[in-house]
Structure 1
Amino acid sequence: MLPSDKLAIIDSFPLPLCQPVRNHRVTIFKGLADVGYNASKHLWFYGFKVHMLVTLSGYILNYVVTPASVHDIKVVYKLLEGCKQSVILGNLGYLSSELKKDLEQEGYHLWTPFRKNMTGANWKVMVMRRTIETRFSELCRLFDIEHTLARGLAGLQLRIEQIILAHNLRYFEMN
């Protein structure tokens, strides 16, 4: 196994701005937010997606906010800017041989889980991936990040950065 300082985990979570019934008539953040699909909840939502890079111990290294319809692969390079960890764990949203080759040329090794029809799954690495899911759960449970109530771009950015700062301060307090 790799030491935790060489490993980072990448993933995204939805940031809905309204209830699904209002997806096509909402006017807030018009032109910035859009409709995306939350596969884990089997739900369409209007809003943004927050992409995060987290260490194995749970410290949030970087984040990017995109419209909800932006695919996870399109944000990887921006998210990895300045990342010192060489091994990146991602979910099936990052499964791309082209992305993997490009990142290897930049000195990163991207590991994504195998699909059900692929052989060679490593359950130990899958257990490590749970770290980011736990962080997302904490951001929702402790800081209610899914309900920002922001009505402007500056307010949204401020709210997200306050939550990340509070989480990272809490991280140092616990470690």
Structure 2
Amino acid sequence: MDTEIITIYCLCDDFLKAMNHVEDRQRRLIDAEVMTVAIVAARYFGGIIERARVMLAEPRYMPLMVSRSRLNRRLRRVMPLLLSLFETLAEEWKAQNEASWYALDTFPVAACDPYRVIRVRLYDGEAYRGYQASKRRYYYGLKLHLMVTAHGQPVEFFLTPASCGDVTGLQLFNFDLPEGSHVYADKAYNDYRIEDELTQVGIHLLPLRKKNSKRPHPAWLTTLISAKRKVVETAGSLIQRCMPKSIHAVTAAGFEMKVVLFVLGLSLHYVLG
């Protein structure tokens, strides 16, 4: 763990230096250290910032650690930097993706189970009630839309209310991919208009077809898509493995910040090996 923590800190510090990032000279904890605390919490402590803060306050790590409340305020300020770090890594993963194919899917992020909806404070309304088909259960929270490379490295993601359909989410992807890329998806992503628009810019969206599809795929292509899609399912499993059964958060913004950190943690998983 020590080697990985040092690697995470060096990566954050080098990233901020490359950006010519300017900080307040009076700060006790530099932004690279704040980013390190957040990432360590996501990778090793189920997103619990306080546990990471206490561990990293040891003299061999960050002897000038700030208080819990001050650290939480600093975390909100560095969130744009963490997102920029994710985007920088995403560009690197796309450059290394010689296979030039990607896969996308959605994953539930539950704030609570339906029977506890009356007590939930983070979100309000039926828009946040979703259905997880694989487990045949309803949940209350968000939906993570994720796109990964052929090696499982995340290159794009965003969050929507749990009731958001996959086709609706498909319209929100940027598809900032190299020309000639192929994107594999499941049956929920059938939208001929988006497929045609992406084809015009050299990107080929290939979802599994439904039985009544007007554009059926040959059997060999259906088998290929099914096989390629497994990489995004594996990526989703790695993210959910880091998530605790219940993500502790006081505000919706704090809940979403921790989900972002779990996705960033997946990207750093491929940096750390």
- Taking structure 2 as the reference length, what is the TM-score of the superposition? 0.56
Q: What is aligned with 1:22?
A: 116
CA 1:160–1:17: 2 relative to 1, 3 Å: same
Tell me, in whole angstroms, the C-alpha distance in 2 between the residues paired with 1:93 and 1:145.
Answer: 27
1:161 matched to 2:260: yes
How is 1:90-101 mapped onto 2 (pairs within 5 angstroms)? 90-101=185-196
CA-atom RMSD in angstroms: 2.4
Q: What is aligned with 2:47?
A: none
1:107 matched to 2:202: yes
SS of the residue aligned with 2:229? helix
1:127 matched to 2:227: yes
1:35-56 alpha-carbon deviations (Å, 9 max, x no partner): 1111221111111100011111
Tell me, in whole angstroms, the C-alpha distance in 2 between the residues paired with 1:132 and 1:10.
Answer: 6
Tell me, in whole angstroms, the C-alpha distance in 2 between the residues paired with 1:9 and 1:120.
Answer: 19
Number of positions where the alignment pairs a residue of Structure 1 with one of Structure 2: 171
Tell me, in whole angstroms, the C-alpha distance in 1 between the residues paired with 2:266 and 2:107.
Answer: 16
Q: What is aligned with 1:171?
A: 270
Higher helix share: 2
Residue identity in the other structure for 2:207: T
Identify which of 134, 137, 156 aligns with 1:62: 156
Q: Determine which structure has more spread, i.e. the larger CA radius of gyration.
A: 2
2:171 and 2:194 in contact (8 A); partners too? no
Segments of 5+ residues of structure 2 without an aligned counterpart are: 1-96
SS of the residue aligned with 1:79? coil
Identify which of 239, 259, 269 aligns with 1:139: 239
Deviation at 1:15, TM superposition (A): 0.8
Tell me, in whole angstroms, the C-alpha distance in 2 between the residues paired with 1:83 and 1:149.
Answer: 35
Tell me, in whole angstroms, the C-alpha distance in 1 between the residues paired with 2:129 and 2:231.
Answer: 27
Tell me, in whole angstroms, the C-alpha distance in 2 between the residues paired with 1:165 and 1:6.
Answer: 22
Tell me, in whole angstroms, the C-alpha distance in 1 between the residues paired with 2:138 and 2:116.
Answer: 11
1:90 and 1:112 in contact (8 A); partners too? yes
Deviation at 1:8, TM superposition (A): 1.1
Tell me, in whole angstroms, the C-alpha distance in 2 between the residues paired with 1:14 and 1:78.
Answer: 17
Tell me, in whole angstroms, the C-alpha distance in 2 between the residues paired with 1:119 and 1:83.
Answer: 23
Higher relative contact order structure (alpha carbons within 8 Å, sequence separation ≥ 6): 1
Tell me, in whole angstroms, the C-alpha distance in 2 between the residues paired with 1:64 and 1:145.
Answer: 20
Higher strand share: 1
Tell me, in whole angstroms, the C-alpha distance in 2 between the residues paired with 1:100 and 1:81.
Answer: 12
Tell me, in whole angstroms, the C-alpha distance in 1 between the residues paired with 2:232 and 2:268.
Answer: 17
SS of the residue aligned with 1:17? strand
Segments of 5+ residues of structure 1 without an aligned counterpart are: none
